[in-house]
Chains A and B, each alone.
Chain A
């Protein structure tokens, strides 16, 4: 490991030692208590290279190297987008080992999705770490999959630079076993006239927290944050998003939807921050929760922090059960009650996933997860 990365790791280690796992008194973790988590010794970490990286070699315009082989300029970007005063960011960085650096060359469009697949793995913890740089005018699709089938902890950190005029579509699916704990970070900086589209599926892990921090750094930058929580049993899942309109004429669109069965707990905290000189921005946020049982919970907390005076910002949040009038209508047309409920939930979910263009990742990898979730929830299989 380079001297710079080693000193980053050490400072994160010190930072985490003083922070510890946050309890509910820490505002950002008000609805997700992490204080019961263990602290692993560094030695317990297992190196888990994603499967399928070989498929990414030999693609024109894509460079895939480990941090030690990357330029000093690229190395400097590692750790630059995540705040170490967040316990999850500090903890993951304290276990920093291998960093994979993907660079998509200027004005290159890569058709093949760049898949980072963290499938099933042995008991233990892993700290996947990526730096993704789309140079000016580049275009790509990034796919992250986390499907650990163990009682360990997955703490991935992905930092992304979408340089001016570049476009990135990013699918992130977390479908780990309920025994697993998932604490992840996604941080992106979006340059002038660049476009970043993040689509997240959170269906797995007993305890999950996903932090997303997007900085719209140049005029004309746009971000879409689209998220789904599909929860059941005693799962707890927290998506914590922060969009910083750091430049004028930037736009953001955020839609998070939660379907919550059993006694699961869905948390969405989303902040839109507009800096003083960021005039003419538009930021829209919507969070919706659908409760499928009397013990299911949704905690949505939208926040706006605006220092400019010529902006359009909106946020809305709703939580409710399935529409009884619509259910009656479907049943009156001969559709059995469970099937009618399933149709309504599918409609609720599809609203997030439509209009995404090429959706092969959705069809091949997300739809089976969604179908399995719906079958489990509507099989009357919900003891709690």
Chain B
């Protein structure tokens, strides 16, 4: 599904290397968690995969379903089935949530060779998916993320994921800013999309999200490299001992 080899990336303006030879293989249906101290490069990895401006890949490759992911435009990456759930979803005043959701759903469907959904069909679909995530239908009439609480923003991200049906999703610190109830709802939303084929990369600082979204593999990212990999028990160990060992190593 996703194959990252010897990935080196830097922030363009600072010419400061953030990722320093990262390797990662994710197979269909797998859930991988990446944990690590602040500044290890966790969010950079998500941004580089999604194609955000301002990062430069200086070495290495990323293949997604056999395709050179780094050669694709941001929107093309979404079309081939990559989804990034943002750590900080962007507020866009004046763009109605429902129109936004419909535009991105239909643009993605068109790119995948599927027919557009009519206004009525889309409304039914969006309302049903929103209800699953306990999203108040009134939220769909508001501007994208504008004035949403932390929990509402993260639920809106999962709603977008449910509508776009990606094959691979990166969840960037999706647990940050969530209380226990919101964490449960968001996790249930993610788990509902685990169908044995779809893969996930869960980026998090804390173990608690992984109580709800059970990973198959856990990796520790420190100073731009994966320094240790293991099963779910690794997350528990990190929770107990913290990142102290890895910060020193860095």
Task: Give the B-binding residues of A (Cβ under 8 A).
Answer: 323-326, 328-337, 339-340, 343-344, 346-348, 350-351
Is there contact, CB below 8 Å, between A329 and B92?
A: yes
Q: Which of A331, A347, A351 contacts B73 (CB 8 A)?
A: A331
The reply to whether the CB of B75 lies closer than 8 angstroms to some CB of chain A is yes
Interface size class of B (residues with CB under 8 A): 20 to 34
With A331-B73, A334-B111, A335-B107 as contacts: A343 and B90 at CB distance below 8 Å: no
The reply to whether the CB of B148 lies closer than 8 angstroms to some CB of chain A is no
* Complex alpha-carbon distance, A340 and B78, angstroms: 14
Known: A331-B78, A348-B94. 6 other contacts (CB 8 A): A329-B92, A331-B51, A331-B74, A332-B77, A332-B78, A336-B107
With A328-B52, A328-B53, A343-B103 as contacts: A334 and B79 at CB distance below 8 Å: yes
* Complex alpha-carbon distance, A339 and B52, angstroms: 17
Is there contact, CB below 8 Å, between B75 and A334?
A: yes
* Complex alpha-carbon distance, A142 and B160, angstroms: 44
Instruction: Output the nearest chain A residue to B92 by Cβ-Cβ distance.
Output: A326
Instruction: Output the nearest chain A residue to B95 by Cβ-Cβ distance.
Output: A347
Is there contact, CB below 8 Å, between B107 and A339?
A: yes
The reply to whether the CB of B2 lies closer than 8 angstroms to some CB of chain A is no
Closest chain A CB from B188 CB (angstroms): 22
Which residues in window 54-99 of B have CB below 8 A to A? 73-75, 77-79, 84, 86, 89-95
* Complex alpha-carbon distance, A350 and B94, angstroms: 7
Which residues in window 171-186 of B have CB below 8 A to A? none
The reply to whether the CB of B203 lies closer than 8 angstroms to some CB of chain A is no
Is there contact, CB below 8 Å, between A344 and B95?
A: yes
Is there contact, CB below 8 Å, between B90 and A329?
A: yes
Is there contact, CB below 8 Å, between B92 and A347?
A: yes
Interface of A, helix, strand, loop or mixed by DSSP: helix
Which residues in window 89-139 of B have CB below 8 A to A? 89-95, 100, 103-104, 107-108, 111
Closest chain A CB from B171 CB (angstroms): 13
Closest chain B CB from A276 CB (angstroms): 38
Is there contact, CB below 8 Å, between B94 and A336?
A: no
With A335-B104, A339-B103 as contacts: A329 and B89 at CB distance below 8 Å: yes
The reply to whether the CB of B50 lies closer than 8 angstroms to some CB of chain A is yes
Instruction: Output the nearest chain A residue to B94 by Cβ-Cβ distance.
Output: A347
The reply to whether the CB of B190 lies closer than 8 angstroms to some CB of chain A is no
* Complex alpha-carbon distance, A344 and B86, angstroms: 19
Specify which chain A residues have a CB less than 8 angstroms from the CB of B108 in the assembled complex: 333-334
Specify which chain A residues have a CB less than 8 angstroms from the CB of B100 in the assembled complex: 330, 333, 343
Specify which chain A residues have a CB less than 8 angstroms from the CB of B78 in the assembled complex: 331-334
Is there contact, CB below 8 Å, between A335 and B75?
A: yes
Specify which chain A residues have a CB less than 8 angstroms from the CB of B52 in the assembled complex: 328, 332
Specify which chain B residues have a CB less than 8 angstroms from the CB of A333 in the assembled complex: 78, 100, 104, 108, 160, 164
* Complex alpha-carbon distance, A331 and B100, angstroms: 11
* Complex alpha-carbon distance, A342 and B93, angstroms: 14
Closest chain A CB from B199 CB (angstroms): 18
Specify which chain B residues have a CB less than 8 angstroms from the CB of A335 in the assembled complex: 75, 103-104, 107
Specify which chain B residues have a CB less than 8 angstroms from the CB of A343 in the assembled complex: 95, 100, 103
Is there contact, CB below 8 Å, between A332 and B50?
A: yes
Is there contact, CB below 8 Å, between B50 and A344?
A: no
* Complex alpha-carbon distance, A281 and B103, angstroms: 44
Instruction: Output the nearest chain A residue to B101 by Cβ-Cβ distance.
Output: A333
* Complex alpha-carbon distance, A339 and B92, angstroms: 15
